Amino acid sequence: MTSQPAIMAEDAIAGVMPLLPGIPDELAIWEILIRLPPKSLLRCRAVCRAWRRATSIRAFLLAHHDRQASLPIVWGKLVSGSEHGGARYKDFLAFNQRATDAQLQPVARLDQSYSLRAICDGLLILSNYKSDTYYRICFSICNPVTRQSAPLRQPSGFILLGMYLHRPTGEYRLLLGRRTYGVSPILGSVMGKGEISCYVFVLGSDQPPRYIQRLDPESGLCFLTPTLVRDSLHWFSLQHQSQSRRIIVFDTTAELFRQMRAPLLPTSSCIFEMDGTLGIYSHKDDMKVVDIWVLQNYEGEIWECKYRVELPVDEIIGLFGRREGHWDVTAVTADGDILLLLSHGHWLFYVDIDGKLVDSFHRDGQYLSPCGLRLKQTLVPHTFFTALEDHVVNASPFI
């Protein structure tokens, strides 16, 4: 019986010479070309029409995307000097601890006025402020690999809570929030101060955001970066430390909210994805120790403090000199490894789960700051780009 990859390879290159002399096309496509990084794959398309045809089929691009590593993202924010004719910019960097050369890899350079709000399947949602008629937040979508971008005429006046793939329809959707005061024209009822109305917006749609649910202010829903696990978005609530904190969960299939139990943590803490489940890392203000909790049983909501990591802050100060100012730490996972990225000014330090300083990175004139998001690059085409007004390639927000 002929395998599915073989059938697809035959369809891709029927009637042309072998892609690589001496190598069956099935192997050339599904064992060699599919392993290339996205930028290398784009360059190889210029070799000949057969290569372009074979690497442009949607099934190939989906499989290629699945093979890409999901890498933590670091912002390099310009704080002094100017380049590019006086333009100010932010460097969008991916941290790859398995790289044999540069572990801090440039992905794109974006206009300074844009901020990263969400990433899903290699697509970025950016925001910037406009003051045409009144001061407002505007959103845009882009793919840093293909350098496509388009402003989103809708939504406007909302807070972005998250982005997700709605699997039943295959649509990419934005989860939006708006604090409601007074009378709601949509609900036709009086809303209490601080209550949050939630909406869903389909990318590429000309319809306004659809109202789905109202959240009580006591839910503690924060507007920080959510964590996607089991097709649900998760936020660590912002109740006072003395109160029992909860995890707010949004099911991206049913598009409904619920809550989960969380461990009682007396220190600063953030949620992150950890081997297909949830993790929470917490630390005190002195940045000496990071505790990492793991959700051992998702259905039973059972947590365990699995790691206690002593940060090598004193060693870092001894090696690189005493540096006053703000320290921050971010816990992420990549290829099954838990990484602690310790940032301080123009420096980024990579610390492993044993508290060992593995590497350090420095960029003159830029603050380095992990954003808690991860990028899995993609070349998969999306029709909503061309459907959006003012769709461009190699233009702002890219520099």
Tell me which of 66, 89, 105 is where a domain ends. Answer: 66
Residues 40 and 116 in one domain: no
Tell me which of 66, 84, 105 is where a domain ends. Answer: 66
Position 191 pLDDT exceeds 60: no
What's the mean pLDDT in 218-246?
76
Q: By residue range, what is the domain housing residue 104? A: 68-393
First and final C-alpha spacing in the chain: 50
Token digits of residue 35: 């392993």
CA–CA separation, 369 vs 307, rounded Å? Answer: 23
What's the mean pLDDT in 338-349?
91
Distances (CA, A) of 267 to 80, 244, 262, 271, 313: 34, 13, 13, 13, 18
The confidence score (pLDDT) of residue 2 equals: 42
The confidence score (pLDDT) of residue 319 equals: 84
- Residue at 399 is within a domain: no
For residue 44, give the H/E element and its range. Answer: helix 38-44
The confidence score (pLDDT) of residue 132 equals: 59
Position 106 pLDDT exceeds 50: yes
Beta strand pairing call for 171-184 and 357-362? unpaired
Percentage of the chain with pLDDT > 90?
52
Residues 87 and 33 in one domain: no
- Residue at 318 is within a domain: yes
CATH number at residue 366: 2.120.10
For the chain, what is the domain count?
A: 2
CA–CA separation, 271 vs 265, rounded Å? Answer: 12
